[in-house]
Structure 1
Amino acid sequence: MTAPTLLDRFARQVADHPDAVALRHTGTSLTYRELDEWAGRLAARLAAKGTGPGSLVALAADRGPAAVAGVLAVLKTGAAYLGLDPATPVRRQRRMIEEAGPHVVLAEPGLDRFPTLDVPRVRLVPLTEGPLHPGPAREPDEDDLFHIVYTSGTTGNPKGVRISRRSVRNRLEWMWRDHPFTEGAVLAVQKSVALVASPWELLGGLLQGVPSVVLGSDEVLDPALFAAAVAREAITHLYVTPQLLAGLLEESAALAGGHQPVLVTSGADALPVSVVRRFREVWPAATLLNLYGMTETASNVGAYDTAALPDDAERVPVGRAVAGAVLSVRDRLGRRLPAGAPGEVWVSGPPLALGYLGGDDGDRFTTDASGTRHYRTGDRGRLLPDGALEITGRTDNQVKVRGYRVELEEVESTLRKAPGVTDAGAYADREEGETRIVACVTAGEELDVPALRAHLRDRLPDYMLPARVEQVPRLPLGTNGKLDRAALRDVVASTRARRGSDFAPADATEAAVAALWRELLGAPPATADENFFDAGGHSLLAVRLAGRLEATAGRRVPLRRILGAPTVRGIAAVCHEVRKEARG
């Protein structure tokens, strides 16, 4: 008997529970029938533009029901999609579009940023009239493309990973089988449609009759709003990064009511032991899984139940293989290593992606003498005596920033293309439990750092932007003629030691803002009018700043007001205003 397809599962839910709530978002809801009809009408319009099996749809959508309807519409035509996140710089999106070559663009209003792309368009808007698509003329093969996901590349450009329908279905069925939804389950949807892990959130609950709550961008950025949404919506299932989980736990601990999720999965970065211990204190009845995976393996291939973590543990293992994957630790010649021996982690089995767009698989995807295909992860690890896998580092210059993969070579390549820059190097520091990129540049004359940052913001996503950019006399090289990243830290330290700050606060409020600025960014503001984001700030640091300003302003400072005036002078003025408003 043939296993039901993802569309079969959705059709079954529509037939059995047409009036049940499928999605909730900002106080509104969509039933299964409403969502099915919306997706069906979108699919009909896509099909009228020639979309079908073998086609690729550029799907530009923000977090919300439209993203879910868009994915379902693409599935109904039998096509695949390239997810585009509105937060990604337009230049980067256009490069993806040029390389992937979509046949049609399905975009929410204002998100079609490709005026020179000569392909048909379909607007991703609510539809209540028009024909419904009957379904693809043929069911795509399991090895046909499901979606393309872009990730950071060592060549200086992002690289697209081609992920099959088999791999996505395999990931969903593993969770449904090993961690079935409980009665009253509610799933949180908070990931961008451009991420490899998004199919679980977009479809994982939907295809099992579990209502999904689509969180807004503000709720995802602000842990206080996120925690409030989890409690208000009685969310039971969450998939978050360790950084987001840490903030969520602190905010949830302060809330009255005591709602606890049933299952929380953490992935995309190393899960600190301290976060596991805090989880046990705040949500003792919930299960926390530490997941392991990457874009090239269609999300997760390892899982570890943190309830088993010993009290004296120094690291949280990523556990045993799941979803049919095979995990092994190998030496540089590809030979399997015994338990306890450190080496590179290899993955094989159904989760593996089809490869990179353009076929440039390099030495990452490899086939051994037995004909088995593997992905070489670049992660250093070892197998523990109980068979669980522990990750201990990297074999290359890849780092994780807020759960996103960053190749330092791509940051360096982008810097070298900036006006006036003659060379560039970068390294990663760990501060307050967060990875931050430090970039160094050389130039013939004094560079305009704000202009350089603007150049980067136009080309790199927020998480790839350096927290610090330093102009240095030269880049240190090793005996092999390559950049010496360890020595680069010493060059930065000596450069910063020689540079002072001319900033003098006008009052106690500016002094308090400046102190927080230094705490978060690692350096004092240069002037009262320096831009927080030009100094290395990003959205999550702005959220953290807003939370810590409560002691100065007398109550919580809204994030949007900081974003509207992101300087010491401007933030201090906001604090004065909030204090005055609090007094009535």
Structure 2
Amino acid sequence: MHNHNLLTQILKGIQSHPDRNAFFIDGKYHTYKSLAKRISEIYNIIKQHTGPTAQCIGIIEKNNIETYASLLAVLFSGNTYVILNPQNPNCRNRIIVESTDIQLILHSDEDNCSLDIPKYVNLISTIDVKSESILDKIMTQVDSDSLAYIIFTSGSTGVPKGVPISHGNLNAFYDAYSSLNFNLNKEDRLLQMFDLCFDVSVVSTLYPLTLGACIFTVSQNSVKYTQVYELLEDEELTFAAIAPSLLSYLQPYFEEINLPKLKYLILTAEASNWDLLSQFITCAPNAELVNLYGPTEATIYCTSYRVNPNDIDTYNGMLAIGKAFKSMHAIIVDENLQEVPKGEKGEMCVAGAQLMEGYWKDPKKSKEVFVELDCFEVPTRYYRTGDICFIDEKDCIHYCGRKDYQVQIQGFRVELNEIEHTVRQYHSIGSNVVLAKPNQLGNQELHLFIEKYEGEETSIIDFLKEKLPIYMCPQNIYGINELPLNSSGKVDRKKLLELV
């Protein structure tokens, strides 16, 4: 019987493959044996500076083996890791440190000591620590209610929201993710391209270690999409989880890209445009495409859609997000929180073992997003995702956009994704984004940002007028060489709004 305790499986993977490579970071391989040594050394530091009660421990992010070993050491110690990105504003990092009552921060770069961190915090370098290897003495049976990590996402008030994920949540996710039955083993080579403040980095880092496989990371000091391309091709990676926006950056090179060794391409973090993916398929002729969806609050992913190129399920050109994971349940509800019939749009709510308990020290916000619904003849706790979806006749869930991306224009409810889909019919090179912003009179105006377009604005508008009602046609069009991406690989909509 498969053991679904994630830490136990990671420890087994580390101990069973000492001479195999665990990480490839900035051109250098690190074996499982060397990883075990680093984990042991940092684990000892943690034990020397913490008591019997679990606490939050900060880790200053850097693309090196010490950072990844620190993350693992914190998990094995039964404490909670909180990633601090030195590229984020000092005030944001300070808010995170103070709200989680961090007393100990691990770092691996002396330059990061200049971060605005309270003086009472113990800041310890993990670069030169030496101690005996004690990995065989590490306990992996951590209480399921204890927190594995807290990830901070943007909050509407400007204060980041803490999303605490327990070991129970993580084990439920690992069980469900393993049930996807990817054909992977110790010989595989997997990509980790995400900022450690973003939750997809968790599965990109931890899951390969359970296999004894090798993880290939992306440097913070390079152009991300070019390094991903180089790693995929030069290192013959077999598994890659990427944001679709990154693929759009690679689109000009599709004719040159050849990835015959790629077995799985995971689409994640945002809606997946099938037109773009259908062009990419020839670059990776042996790869299965899998679209994985999930809010951070439901532990990384909670639905999956495996792509059959001969039978594609799309809505407005975007791939379906499929069906709920084995430990999760998804329903679509109306504004009165009543379940809607198949084919009808509404807000998706999810329930199950992967769901967080509530936002960190924010009961008010937690109360806003959690509801009890009588879907199984007993009250069941659901998380309101804020995503507009519908379920088709094949019980396949389709993502239609964020509630936030629905705007009222002249009294009409408009889905911005529908406009973007129509623009792609006219100009399929690159991506486009439609944003709404109130004008001086308080009326919503639509702004279209379109990549690699050098034609006349009037040509696009004339085309859109033939396809859409006049109120759905953008008032302003901006040609842009490349849409800006945030650290998670998603289109940075806030930065685009600043250009308006």
Query: Taking structure 1 as the reference length, what is the TM-score of the superposition?
Result: 0.67
Q: Is the 8 A contact 2:238 2:261 kept in 1?
A: yes
Instruction: Give the Å deviation of 1:275.
Output: 1.8
Task: Name the stretch that deviates more: 297-306 or 174-183.
Answer: 174-183
Instruction: Give the Å deviation of 1:310.
Output: 3.9
Distance 1:111 1:252, change over 3 A: farther
CA deviations on 1:18-37 (whole Å, 9 max, x unpaired) are 11111112222111111011
* Structure-2 separation of matches of 1:341 and 1:22: 46
- Structure 1 residues not aligned, in runs of 5+: 400-426, 441-471, 477-483, 491-496, 498-517, 523-535, 541-584
Root mean square deviation, CA, Å: 3.2
SS in 2 for 1:212: strand
CA deviations on 1:208-239 (whole Å, 9 max, x unpaired) are 111111221255x3433321211111111111
CA deviations on 1:506-553 (whole Å, 9 max, x unpaired) are xxxxxxxxxxxx74279xxxxxxxxxxxxx96789xxxxxxxxxxxxx
Alignment match, 1:164: 166
SS in 1 for 2:174: helix
- Structure 2 residues not aligned, in runs of 5+: 408-415, 424-429, 449-456, 458-477, 488-500
Instruction: Name the aligned partner's letter for residue 383 of structure 1.
Output: I
* Structure-2 separation of matches of 1:68 and 1:61: 9
CA deviations on 1:313-353 (whole Å, 9 max, x unpaired) are 43311111114111111122222222111111010011111
| 1:140 alignment partner, one of 136, 139, 142 | 142
Alignment match, 2:279: 278
Instruction: Give the Å deviation of 1:294.
Output: 0.8
Instruction: Give the Å deviation of 1:376.
Output: 0.6
CA deviations on 1:51-79 (whole Å, 9 max, x unpaired) are 55521111111233222111111012110
| 2:373 alignment partner, one of 368, 374, 381 | 368
Instruction: Give the Å deviation of 1:475.
Output: 4.9
* Structure-2 separation of matches of 1:539 and 1:169: 29
Indicate whether 1:9 and 2:9 are aligned: yes
* Structure-1 separation of matches of 2:158 and 2:19: 49
Q: Is the 8 A contact 1:163 1:355 kept in 2?
A: no
| 2:325 alignment partner, one of 298, 322, 326 | 322
Indicate whether 1:185 and 2:145 are aligned: no
| 2:404 alignment partner, one of 396, 399, 415 | 396
After superposition, residues 342-357 of structure 1 pair within 5 angstroms as: 342-357=345-360
After superposition, residues 416-427 of structure 1 pair within 5 angstroms as: none
Q: Is the 8 A contact 1:296 1:352 kept in 2?
A: yes
Alignment match, 2:304: 303
* Structure-2 separation of matches of 1:395 and 1:538: 21
Alignment match, 1:287: 288
Q: Is the 8 A contact 2:434 2:447 kept in 1?
A: no
Distance 1:144 1:10, change over 3 A: same
SS in 2 for 1:82: strand
Alignment match, 1:44: 44
Q: Is the 8 A contact 2:39 2:72 kept in 1?
A: yes
Find the structure with the greater CA-based Rg.
1
Q: Is the 8 A contact 1:51 1:104 kept in 2?
A: no
Q: Is the 8 A contact 2:332 2:345 kept in 1?
A: yes
Instruction: Name the aligned partner's letter for residue 232 of structure 1.
Output: D
Q: Is the 8 A contact 1:276 1:306 kept in 2?
A: no
Instruction: Give the Å deviation of 1:438.
Output: 7.5
Instruction: Name the aligned partner's letter for residue 341 of structure 1.
Output: E
Alignment match, 1:86: 86
Alignment match, 2:451: none
- How many residues matched? 433
Question: Percent of aligned pairs with the same residue?
Answer: 22
Indicate whether 1:28 and 2:28 are aligned: yes
Instruction: Name the aligned partner's letter for residue 362 of structure 1.
Output: K
| 2:178 alignment partner, one of 172, 176, 179 | 176
* Structure-1 separation of matches of 2:281 and 2:485: 30
